[in-house]
Structure 1
């Protein structure tokens, strides 16, 4: 137990191994199994936690492997994960995804392969630039006859010019020698661009587990003590910025090409989060995915601009009328006039006049979005749904200009989910958008009727994304005339109405043609992918060229 104080005193020295400017909270020492379990440190003698940028150290495990004399080697290694490889949650997520592509049917081992790969870079840096005794740490851990372990140790022997069997058990075969040589070159060639070698490294590792007679995971059970990044993302929210990832390969170009850009889907994103120890609700994971996917496409949503808007100027005070809103009372001026305030007698309100101004008054148009979620639509939680993505692009664009948004996800009769009115909470909006019903098709006329009984305070644009099933707006059995309800909504909204529809026969549906004749702007598309271009053209065509209204 005496070594703990010495290690604490050498924390700053460990930080300086990487830079004089690195600042991290001192390592947290765990003195019992219960503490280790609480903090999520299982199996290994050290680990990192990206949530609070902490290094966790097991006192009992360090004593078990007799590592008390290696404070700089161990703490320097853990600090390296925070400041060098991976450095942050986004880079960790990218490495996990790239590795998973090279490990078909072995995805459950991905985070461990990534951990080993990162350790190679960190250990080589500490050995070459700081002359630390990294090989002695592995000698303390002990040798292992496992083929993967010997391949891993042989890589270190080649990197550091160590004699054979310094870290390996017995003479290694030609395959291990060849694989270790390739990885050695990889580590030296990409010291600051680890993503370039991740696919190739995972591909080299694949046969050691796929062909294992002892089982795919038994190899790693013997070396669990070195895994320190398995739950690095525990307690964190899903990372951003990984909807599109570049995958490179020098050794296996026929598999993916030298460089391939992959777009991940929601299921991939969920798997990445799970592999990093992120325990988030599916709705939160899908919300982050579609928000990131929409960001590159955000466009200005329509707004009314009035140049030369009148500017109010204070001209004085006048007696406040008891019938006027109480917030108009100027309490300071009223108190100055009379210490005893008598509403309607001694209370005054400010009097304003108007003058010409060069300011432009902006009046955002609110968005009323209806997205079809019947059985013919993709589930946005398992695959990329362009309906959801288009809804996210347009909704987030509307929020940028100050608009309020109501989103309704609809399927069968009385089967819909909607936001709590017109809101500006992007998480509430995307939570509705990323839901799924997969039932029948019946447009929610009751929402359209209820929402437009009175003329809204702000202009609204009604946007519907659907397919041929939109004809249920007119053909369903409803207590009141559906056509009159739709017409009334368009008139009261005053911001127009659009329908973007994937139609099997754009000209052959008489009901949909009638909708176009009754005031709805129809935008037929051939595939759901066309919704991305529609999202951009929608604003340009209808509003941007005609923004200034006098």
Structure 2
């Protein structure tokens, strides 16, 4: 085990291969199989864990392959995954997605293909920029007859001007020679923009597995896979709603040549490929949050000129029924060194005086989103209802508004947040749920929520289709029209309905709602909801923004 101390002494030198400013926790050496399993080092002799950016090294496997003399080569390679390729989880996710598109039905091979592709960039950089003995590492691993391995090794031979047979085994086919030549050009042409060549690289790799209809069983390949389960222990990556797919060799209509918008199902597949252990609600929450962020708009606030200003008038006895944070501990201690709650504790008393300050009063949002069988499942495909709701809800939270989200479908079939809250994750987790049942608007929520005038004004927003007529046509023990009218009046902030209607002018319930004060916004397709969400504030609040 003497080599371990040598490797430890070379850690800072390995960091400087990339930059004088790179700071990472020193590598962790693992001496037994149980230690390797516990740390998540499964097949390779070295890896970097993106969760904490810790390099892991298997002492027994390094000895098995006789790699003790290659400290800088192996340490520098693992550090390269952190600072160079992929660098972060979002870039890794993009490469995974592009590879999935290029290798249909073989997505289980995606982590391996991405890993090998990244290794090409890192190893070529270390060889050319730092003159490290990268080819000697592969010589120690040994030659293989596997066609894919020979294609991979031939690429290194071309990159580093090595004679044929230095790393490869036997006579190479014309296909291997051609593929290796193409890939070597990619590595040199895109040293800092590897996403551009990922689709072509994966397309070149695809036939090696498709034609044999089996995965390479080479233990050597598996020993090199140091970014498998790169996302284990991490939350789903952000910034991954659109990915640009480019190809110089295999342009495919409908796939390459433009940005592709990921579906929630594709996003979920990417997370699983990277070993991210998150439930579907967490993944869907992250997806719609990222989708909504570019569209956030200023949410309405009521402006009160000459708002009252509080002034301290004195103290009074603190009541045990009051919040404990109201106690003025300094004054209570001065009054009595022995603190007895309710007897010696006091709280501050404030009065009001006029001022020139302007007070902003956020309007709370009461959002109802139809989730019946006629609506898409937001966990599988992009739901514009969910996206529009996310845009408006997140916009409201930015200005301090409270938001209640209700997802509704059939009778007594609804999911709602615990009142008007400001927790974006809880709001979006409700919003991204799905029922897919019948249609029956939850009148009980309007009835219970608006028995009294709320402390802050609210705007009621409903997103639905022709199923909105169940607001009046359902069997309910009390008058639905009176309940709806009362809610609109007590909310004091107005009400809007965004409806996809088959006959916008011939729906009697919709016409009645419009006449009773609801703002009706008919749309033709659900994609129109994006434009609605942008216009929502200006169309509803700008003209009545100042409250006197």
TM-score (norm 1): 0.94
For 1:257-296, list aligned pairs within 5 A. Answer: 259-296=257-294
Report the CA distance shift for 1:349/1:235 in structure 2 as closer, same or farther (over 3 A). closer
CA shift digits 1:407-431 (9 cap, x unpaired) = 1101000011111111111111011
Kept after mapping to 1: 8 A contact 2:329/2:345: no
Within 1, Cα distance between the matches of 2:65 and 2:298?
61
Report the CA distance shift for 1:182/1:521 in structure 2 as closer, same or farther (over 3 A). same
The corresponding residue for 2:532 is 534
The corresponding residue for 1:251 is 249
Within 2, Cα distance between the matches of 1:121 and 1:326?
60
Within 2, Cα distance between the matches of 1:383 and 1:340?
63
CA shift digits 1:300-323 (9 cap, x unpaired) = 111101123233445x54887999
Kept after mapping to 2: 8 A contact 1:499/1:520: yes
The corresponding residue for 2:377 is 379
Between 442-451 and 334-343, the greater mean CA deviation after superposition: 334-343
Report the CA distance shift for 1:313/1:69 in structure 2 as closer, same or farther (over 3 A). same
Report the CA distance shift for 1:81/1:92 in structure 2 as closer, same or farther (over 3 A). same
CA shift digits 1:186-236 (9 cap, x unpaired) = 101111111111111111111111111xx3313565521111001111100
Report the CA distance shift for 1:482/1:260 in structure 2 as closer, same or farther (over 3 A). same
Report the CA distance shift for 1:98/1:336 in structure 2 as closer, same or farther (over 3 A). closer
Give 1:365 deviation, angstroms.
0.6
CA shift digits 1:374-426 (9 cap, x unpaired) = 00000000100011111111111111010111111010000111111111111
Within 2, Cα distance between the matches of 1:339 and 1:178?
88
Provide structure 2 residue ranges, at least 5 long, that are not aligned to the other structure.
Answer: none
Within 1, Cα distance between the matches of 2:275 and 2:53?
15
Give 1:455 deviation, angstroms.
1.4
The corresponding residue for 1:141 is 141
The corresponding residue for 1:452 is 450
The corresponding residue for 2:94 is 94
3-state DSSP of counterpart to 2:48: strand
3-state DSSP of counterpart to 1:223: helix
Give 1:532 deviation, angstroms.
0.6
Within 2, Cα distance between the matches of 1:326 and 1:273?
44
Report the CA distance shift for 1:252/1:332 in structure 2 as closer, same or farther (over 3 A). closer
The corresponding residue for 2:44 is 44
Kept after mapping to 1: 8 A contact 2:327/2:345: no
Within 2, Cα distance between the matches of 1:186 and 1:348?
71
The corresponding residue for 2:354 is 355
Within 2, Cα distance between the matches of 1:331 and 1:136?
71
Kept after mapping to 2: 8 A contact 1:392/1:433: yes
Report the CA distance shift for 1:539/1:348 in structure 2 as closer, same or farther (over 3 A). closer
1:153 matched to 2:153: yes
CA shift digits 1:426-470 (9 cap, x unpaired) = 111011011110000000111111111111111111111100001
CA shift digits 1:116-167 (9 cap, x unpaired) = 0000000001111111111111111111111111111000000000000000
The corresponding residue for 1:64 is 64
TM-score (norm 2): 0.95
For 1:124-135, list aligned pairs within 5 A. Answer: 124-135=124-135
Given candidates 417, 421, 437, the residue that maps to 2:415 is 417
Report the CA distance shift for 1:98/1:337 in structure 2 as closer, same or farther (over 3 A). closer
Report the CA distance shift for 1:284/1:475 in structure 2 as closer, same or farther (over 3 A). same
Within 1, Cα distance between the matches of 2:168 and 2:347?
91
Report the CA distance shift for 1:546/1:326 in structure 2 as closer, same or farther (over 3 A). closer
CA shift digits 1:353-383 (9 cap, x unpaired) = 51331x2201111111111000000000010
What is the number of equivalent residue pairs in this alignment? 546
Within 2, Cα distance between the matches of 1:202 and 1:177?
17
CA shift digits 1:474-499 (9 cap, x unpaired) = 00000000000000101111111111
Give 1:254 deviation, angstroms.
4.5
Within 2, Cα distance between the matches of 1:219 and 1:323?
71
Within 2, Cα distance between the matches of 1:185 and 1:347?
77
The corresponding residue for 1:396 is 394
Give 1:341 deviation, angstroms.
11
Within 1, Cα distance between the matches of 2:19 and 2:225?
24
Within 1, Cα distance between the matches of 2:305 and 2:363?
17
3-state DSSP of counterpart to 2:494: strand
Give 1:326 deviation, angstroms.
9.3
The corresponding residue for 1:166 is 166
3-state DSSP of counterpart to 1:43: coil
Given candidates 497, 501, 504, the residue that maps to 1:503 is 501
3-state DSSP of counterpart to 2:372: coil
The corresponding residue for 1:83 is 83
The corresponding residue for 1:429 is 427
The corresponding residue for 1:2 is 2
Within 2, Cα distance between the matches of 1:192 and 1:545?
51
Kept after mapping to 2: 8 A contact 1:330/1:350: no
Between 421-430 and 343-352, the greater mean CA deviation after superposition: 343-352
CA shift digits 1:220-258 (9 cap, x unpaired) = 655211110011111000000010111111222354587
Kept after mapping to 2: 8 A contact 1:94/1:242: yes
Kept after mapping to 1: 8 A contact 2:328/2:345: no
CA shift digits 1:304-354 (9 cap, x unpaired) = 01123233445x548879999798887766887899999999989646351
Kept after mapping to 2: 8 A contact 1:319/1:344: no
